[in-house]
Amino acid sequence: MDFLPEKIDTYVNDHTKAESDLLQELNRETHSKILMPRMLSGHLQGRVLSMISHMIKPKRILEIGTYTGYSAICLAEGLAEGGILHTIDINEELETMVRRYLRLAGMENKIQYHIGDAMNIIPYLHEKFDLVFIDADKENYSNYYDLVFEKINPGGFIIADNVLWSGKVLLDEPGVTDDKDTLALVAFNDKVVTDERVENVLFPIRDGLMVIRKK
Ligand code: SAH
Ligand code: CA
């Protein structure tokens, strides 16, 4: 679901720097070969993630939910000199494609790609993060938040994607209160806004980006 009127959406995209040729190719290949290509961040959100990362200049980034690697490459663009991005995905079928694009982006040394369940892998990452991007299974958003919280430096950020869930978080559609993903996202958004340890803003960009700063 698009929240912006189509003409405004087009204008916004036309007045945001284009994605690189490589990201455009990754976007295109994902749409032609991979299931559920709508999960890929895409042009506008990719540029937003890159911009935020440049603003933070993180030394360590954690991404939960690599998919085909689009958002990982965007986020890694803003890494500080010598910085590392860890990204985790449970879907091993995407490995060959992801590794190919990380190589083409010249980022195979900056991006450490882990395959497996993020809930199992995160406890083994002995790092302190300046930025965490949560974008995997929606049911686990609150669990990921709790699991990464102590691994985030004071003043560090968490960004969680799809927190508007096409508007379903309003819980005003028939049957939506039986949908586990929707209820998990509602619980996550409520948890964040009432958590005294953080400041947060829900940006209505694409499907909703929750931007959280740990005090
Ligand atoms: N961040 C990507 C899109 C991620 S799509 C982008 O913006 O381009 C969500 C991904 O989460 C899928 O690839 C899926 O395989 C992965 N995922 C789902 N459950 C997971 C889990 N328990 N651990 C790790 N990854 C998971
Ligand atoms: Ca997403």
DSSP codes joined into one string, 48-95: HHHHHHHHH--SEEEEE--TTSHHHHHHHTTPPTT-EEEEEES-GGGH
Q: Give residue 82's domain range.
A: 6-214
Tell me whether residue 85 is in a domain: yes
40 within ligand 1 shell (Cβ under 6 A): yes
pLDDT at residue 77 above 90?
A: yes
135 within ligand 1 shell (Cβ under 6 A): yes
Q: What is the pLDDT of residue 79?
A: 98
pLDDT at residue 35 above 90?
A: yes
Show the tokens assigned to 142: 């609150």
Residues 112-148 pLDDT 10s: 999 999 999 999 999 999 999 999 999 999 999 999 9
SS3 110: coil
pLDDT at residue 2 above 90?
A: no
207 CA → ligand 2 middle, Å: 8
Cβ burial of 66 (10 Å; 0-12, 13-18, 19+) is: buried
Tell me whether residue 185 is in a domain: yes
39 within ligand 1 shell (Cβ under 6 A): yes
pLDDT at residue 19 above 90?
A: yes
Tell me whether residue 1 is in a domain: no
Residues 155-199 pLDDT 10s: 999 999 999 999 999 999 999 989 999 999 999 999 999 999 999
CATH of the domain at 112: 3.40.50.150
Tell me whether residue 155 is in a domain: yes
* Residue listed under structure tokens 């720097």: 17
pTM tops 0.85, yes or no: yes
- Mean pLDDT is lowest, of 10-19, 48-57, 122-131, 171-180, for 171-180
6 CA → ligand 2 middle, Å: 20
Length of the chain measured in residues = 215
Q: Which ligand is nearest to the CA of 42?
A: 1
Q: Which ligand is nearest to the CA of 86?
A: 1
Tell me whether residue 206 is in a domain: yes
Q: Which of 31, 71, 90 to mutate to test the pocket of ligand 1 (most atoms within 8 A of CB)?
A: 90
Q: Whose CA is nearest to atom 25 of ligand 1?
A: 89
Q: What is the pLDDT of residue 206?
A: 96
SS3 150: coil
113 within ligand 1 shell (Cβ under 6 A): no
Distance CA 104, CA 124 (A): 28
Ligand 1 nearest-atom number relative to CA 94: 13
The arithmetic mean of pLDDT across residues 37-48, rounded, is 97
- 131 within 8 A of 159, measured Cβ to Cβ: yes
pLDDT at residue 10 above 80?
A: yes
Distance CA 102, CA 165 (A): 29
48 within ligand 1 shell (Cβ under 6 A): no
Q: Which ligand is nearest to the CA of 205?
A: 2
Distance CA 49, CA 71 (A): 7
- Mean pLDDT is lowest, of 54-63, 71-80, 129-138, 174-183, for 174-183
Q: Which of 34, 64, 66 to mutate to test the pocket of ligand 1 (most atoms within 8 A of CB)?
A: 66
- Structurally, the chain folds into a number of domains equal to 1
